[in-house]
Amino acid sequence: MRYFLVITLIFLFFRSEASGQGELLCCDFYRILNTSGNVLLLDVQSKEEYQKHRIPDHIYAGQKSILLDVVAKVNKKTKILVYCTEGKRSASVLEILKKRGYTNVFHLKGGIIKWEKESFPVDSTLIEIP
């Protein structure tokens, strides 16, 4: 019985670790963004969300056609950081990119809302998108 419990706990630990794969806390996202050389930062917010706040030095890829066009131009080993408003859309994009063979993709846990709450740099200048 004790053996079974230990095996079950080990299984649950590794399963939870794997499900969070590619998900970064704000501090880790910021560190990678500012210390890694060749990083592609993708904003996948909706247009309405994007108009309100953005992380500086990003590329807007909030529509699937734009996203696929942007990533088609980069090496599949390029480090790609993805964020959205709350972290749900960026998690989906992470899975899409992994299925397409991109091997170095991460997304921001909690999205730009968490990023702002933790006082990381944000461009909140209101802009219009055609």
Domain borders along the chain are: 22-117
How many CB atoms are located within 10 Å of the residue 13 CB?
A: 10
Cα 4 from Cα 6, distance rounded (Å) = 6
Q: Name the residue with tokens 């890694």.
A: 36
- Indicate the helix (H) or strand (E) that contains 64: helix 64-71
% residues pLDDT > 70 (the chain): 84
Quick one: CATH architecture of 22-117?
3-Layer(aba) Sandwich (3.40)
Cα 73 from Cα 55, distance rounded (Å) = 22
Phi first, then psi, for residue 82 (nearest 5°) are -125, 140
Q: Give 13's pLDDT tier (boundaries 50, 70, 90).
A: very low
The average pLDDT across 43-62 equals 93
The pTM (predicted TM-score) of the whole model is 0.81
Alpha carbon 66 to chain centroid distance? 16
